[in-house]
Amino acid sequence: MSDGVQTEMRGAVGVVTLDRPKALNALNLEMCRRLLPQLEAWAADPAVKAVVVRGAGGRAFCAGGDVRAVAASTVEPRGAGPERLSREFFRAEYALNHRIHHFGKPYISLVDGICMGGGLGLSIHGSHRVVTEKLVLAMPETGIGLFPDVGGGWFLPRFPGESGTYLGLTGARCGAADAMWLGYGTHHVESARLDSVLEALVRAEWGAGPASAVVERILSSFHADAGTSVLATQHAAMDRCFAAERVEDIQQALEAEGSAWAQQTWATLVHRCPTSLKVSLRQLRMGRKRDYDEMVAVEYRLSQSMTARADFREGIRAVLVDKDNKPRWHPGTLGDVSEADVEACFAPRDGDELVLAPG
């Protein structure tokens, strides 16, 4: 029984395999609870020089958190237990991401195939991210009534210009060249060579210098150019249109831009959850000036307020259950979302704050 995760030591390398291929390796509570103590043990063990994380099945690294289970739990009768899944899952996921962010040893993600939401949480906080030609990268949360979680408020504002704002609001999908341009990817390697990358790390001479330098030499020896980033060609337009402080102004800027890209982007935003868009933009602007640990506390509050809203259940229904992609949001337009509505999502939660130990 793997509980969705396989862990093993291969030489001086701890290897994690996310093992829910039928669910595209989506991260659930049991996986978080299994991974955190293992990473704690490897961090403290001087015999462990590096950690490698990969996904099973060949289609996905990790398609995100198991939000469908979280949504189902929010309608269970109070007192039955599962309604606490939202609290327990997000607390466990943020604790896991925090451990990765402050790991202190090379942490190498082999990101092959789909990587969305929680998959970025498992990878971007580590030291190295090897992406392949099969990569599909996205933060699609505004399409299901949520917000860019797993540290998105911290890492999206640190992507070039306003590209993180664009990705966080629209949920647009990226390939390997885009990931390299964003700074998400540290190395690009053909999918067929990933097993060779792992073998090279296992066989490494770890006494030949700092572990980080050993890893860098090995990964660089496999690296190949990823080609031209589509996002890079849209960079100037993204910066013009997504610099505003209000979602309504972003939409107006897209209308004024008038290009095919701007029209498609405008059409995408129209179908996203209005409350999610306003909450997410505020989150991303806050994250420009706050460090990662500060944003974790903010995002935990958001995780609880947003999953309690009907829009979250409706988004899951439309995208993941019925798959009609016709969510009925309430409020239904940006103009109907008040500042008080947005502010309430960020309010401190008496007795339910997330405090993690300093890195």
Residue numbers annotated as active site: 65, 118, 141, 149
Query: Residue 5, Cβ neighbours under 10 Å: how many?
Result: 22
Contact 344, 305 (CB under 8 A): yes
Q: Of 143, 105, 147, 152, whose CA–CA distance to 124 is shortest?
A: 152
CA distance 297 to 301: 7
**The residue type at 200:** A
Token representation of residue 88: 């327990």
The shares of helix, strand and coil residues in the chain, as percent rounded to the nearest 5, are: 55, 10, 35
Q: CA quadruple 136, 253, 228, 106: dihedral positive or negative?
A: negative
SS (H, E, C) 301-343: HHHHHHHCCHHHHHHHHHHHHCCCCCCCCCCCCHHHCCHHHHH
**The residue type at 268:** T
CA distance 123 to 98: 12
- Using the structure block, give the residue that is written with the tokens 């060579």: 193
Contact 124, 144 (CB under 8 A): no
Q: What distances in angstroms separate CA 27 from CA 4, 167, 224, 236, one per listed residue? A: 8, 21, 30, 35
Contact 139, 176 (CB under 8 A): no
CA distance 134 to 118: 18
Contact 99, 39 (CB under 8 A): yes
- 3 state DSSP class of 237: helix
